């Protein structure tokens, strides 16, 4: 029997709600069809936003949304996406399928969506093909309250009051699709561009995100920080140029050139996928160690603003649209990744799964007027009480390594635990085995559990929801536990995730 010890008295750090963030790009059917159908659509909508999708996302609790890309961000010219829709410029979305982008979803629509979701805003600016002036004017258009050319243009386009930008990304993947730059070259551009991301509302300064590394590119992290991180001055006034440094990491079980099917895989591939998901912890630790050299007080957040499973596209769909199904395997990847982010909440301040709807590891898939919730949706829903809670100490004794071949073993169980402001202890526990149930004895330092609610997400490893069978995989109440003094005993089914809320 595995023993899960929880010291609910030992608080280890604040879990920023933004760790449960999302990403929406002008890619495939994420924005168009997935989130936005336009005011004239037969699909029920509020100001063009799909009502079914927005309602489900609100129930899941979205803390922050990143937009407009991704690679799209560095070829997006925001002025094409404002003003009367019929006269908005059309462009080719060269990165994603070469389709026509009609710009009917632009700045006003993004802020409307975030308003409906009740979430913070993360706007990603264009460094790769845009100018300093363009970026600077976008910030002025969105956030300036006084009289100025851009603020007046916003008013002319129907929005009197400024909006709030919570986070602003100065470029995306500038080592690759965002301009193929070297770290030093990008970092110098970062210094320059970010200067003009003005804080018009001093009470609500914009948090600036610098483009960080891809996977294990420690050379990039070092090169960028060396060039554009600035230490506090002798008078102790920090003059750092950034609030966050991004990290992108996707799980491809067979590597970039052999991503594999989203729904057809064997046990060996299951365990490889788990091992690759767990690898993000090493990336956080090693990039974090470089950040520590410049920022030992951890004032800069690590912003994992793209993560998740990236498999082959669903057969028969546009290869440029990155549409993939989502199984129990994705649920486990989400479960362990979020546990890792929680456990590194001293450094990880935001994470955005890629992407919100119909692209890569989505929480929602749509087909015309139909919508399904994926297994990953249920994980985010089950984990939502961690948002804004305090991480507490936990560990698992007798946690064996499992797998089908010696070269690839993963821990049997994976957990994270927090205490929220209502005094509930939130436990999320994943059983990574494809076939072995796990008897668990969970014990607390002092807590005598009196009130428990629990949910489980389980199913055969390939289980997933379809438009014909939308409830194959869904969250269920979990009641098969026994309480003895400070202990709760239960069996975690093979390939499952369980969430407890206890006080």
| Known catalytic membership, residue 173 | yes
| Known catalytic membership, residue 436 | no
Q: Which is nearer to ligand AHR, 246 or 272 (CB)?
A: 246
Q: How far is the CB of 25 from ligand AHR (least distance, A)?
A: 5
Q: Which is nearer to ligand AHR, 173 or 243 (CB)?
A: 173
Q: How far is residue 31 from each of residues 37, 129, 380, 463, measured CA to CA in Å?
A: 8, 22, 20, 26
Contacts of 477 (CB under 8 A, 6+ apart): 453, 454, 455, 456
Q: Which is nearer to ligand AHR, 247 or 345 (CB)?
A: 247
CB atoms within 10 A of CB 458: 21
Choosing from 75, 112, 306, 390, the catalytic residue is: 306
Q: Which residue is nearest to ligand AHR (CB)?
A: 70
As given in the structure block, the two tokens for residue 362 are 């989505």
Q: Which is nearer to ligand AHR, 320 or 411 (CB)?
A: 320
Site residues (vs ligand AHR, CB under 6 A): 25, 69-71, 172-173, 306, 354-355, 360
| Three-state SS annotation for 126-182 | CCCCCCHHHHHHHHHHHHCCCCCHHHHHHHHCCCCCCCCCCEEEECCCCCCCCCCCC
Q: How far is the CB of 226 from ligand AHR (least distance, A)?
A: 23
Q: How far is the CB of 252 from ligand AHR (least distance, A)?
A: 12
| Calpha distance 290→296 (Å, rounded) | 10
Tell me the three state secondary structure of residue 227. helix
Q: How far is the CB of 241 from ligand AHR (least distance, A)?
A: 22
On the 0-12 / 13-18 / 19+ scale of CB atoms within 10 A, 218 is: middle
Q: Which is nearer to ligand AHR, 16 or 172 (CB)?
A: 172
Choosing from 75, 109, 140, 173, the catalytic residue is: 173
| Calpha distance 129→125 (Å, rounded) | 10
Q: How far is the CB of 23 from ligand AHR (least distance, A)?
A: 7
| Calpha distance 319→28 (Å, rounded) | 9
On the 0-12 / 13-18 / 19+ scale of CB atoms within 10 A, 80 is: middle
| Residue numbers annotated as active site | 173, 306
């Amino acid at each position: 029997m595995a023993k899960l010890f929880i010291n609910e008295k030992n608080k280890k750090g604040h879990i920023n709600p933004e760790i449960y963030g999302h990403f929406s790009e002008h890619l495939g059917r994420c924005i168009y069809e997935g989130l936005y159908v336009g005011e004239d659509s037969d699909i029920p909508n509020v100001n063009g936003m799909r009502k079914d999708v927005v309602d489900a996302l609100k129930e899941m609790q979205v803390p922050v949304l990143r937009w407009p890309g991704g690679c799209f961000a560095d070829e997006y010219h925001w002025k094409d996406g404002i003003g009367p829709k019929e006269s908005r410029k059309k462009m080719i979305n060269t990165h994603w399928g070469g389709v026509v982008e009609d710009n009917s979803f632009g700045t006003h629509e993004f802020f409307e969506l975030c308003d409906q979701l009740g979430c913070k805003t993360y706007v990603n600016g264009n460094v790769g093909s845009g100018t300093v002036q363009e970026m600077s004017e976008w910030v002025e258009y969105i956030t300036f309250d006084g009289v100025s050319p851009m603020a007046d243009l916003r008013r002319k386009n129907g929005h009197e009051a400024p909006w709030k930008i919570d986070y602003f990304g100065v470029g995306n993947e500038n080592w690759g699709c965002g301009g193929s730059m070297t770290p030093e070259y990008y970092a110098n551009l970062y210094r320059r561009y970010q200067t003009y991301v003005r804080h018009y509302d001093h009470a609500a300064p914009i948090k600036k995100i610098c483009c960080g590394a891809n996977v294990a590119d420690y050379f990039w992290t070092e090169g960028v920080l060396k060039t554009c991180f600035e230490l506090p001055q002798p008078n102790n006034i920090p003059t750092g140029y950034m609030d966050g440094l991004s990290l992108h990491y996707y799980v491809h079980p067979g590597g970039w050139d052999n991503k594999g099917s989203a729904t057809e895989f064997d046990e060996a591939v299951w365990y490889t996928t788990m091992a690759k998901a767990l690898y993000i912890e090493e990336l956080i630790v090693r990039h974090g160690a470089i950040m520590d050299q410049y920022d030992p007080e951890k004032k800069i957040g690590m912003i994992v603003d793209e993560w998740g499973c990236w498999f082959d596209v669903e057969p028969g769909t546009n290869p440029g649209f990155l549409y993939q199904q989502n199984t129990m395997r994705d649920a486990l990847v989400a479960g362990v990744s979020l546990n890792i982010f929680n456990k590194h909440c001293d450094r990880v301040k935001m994470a955005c799964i890629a992407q919100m709807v119909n692209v890569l590891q989505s929480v929602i898939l749509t087909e015309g007027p139909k919508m399904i919730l994926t297994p990953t949706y249920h994980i985010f829903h089950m984990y939502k009480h961690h948002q804004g809670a305090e991480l507490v100490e936990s560990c698992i004794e007798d946690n064996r390594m499992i797998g089908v071949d010696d070269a690839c073993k993963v821990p049997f169980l994976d957990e994270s635990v927090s205490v929220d402001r209502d005094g509930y202890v939130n436990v999320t526990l994943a059983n990574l085995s494809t076939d072995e149930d796990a008897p668990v004895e969970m014990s607390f330092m002092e807590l005598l559990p009196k009130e428990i609610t629990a949910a489980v997400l389980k199913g055969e490893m390939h289980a997933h929801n379809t438009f014909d069978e939308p409830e194959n995989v869904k969250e269920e109440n979990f009641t098969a536990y026994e309480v003895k003094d400070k202990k709760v005993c239960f069996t975690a089914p093979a390939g499952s995730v369980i969430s407890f809320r206890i006080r």
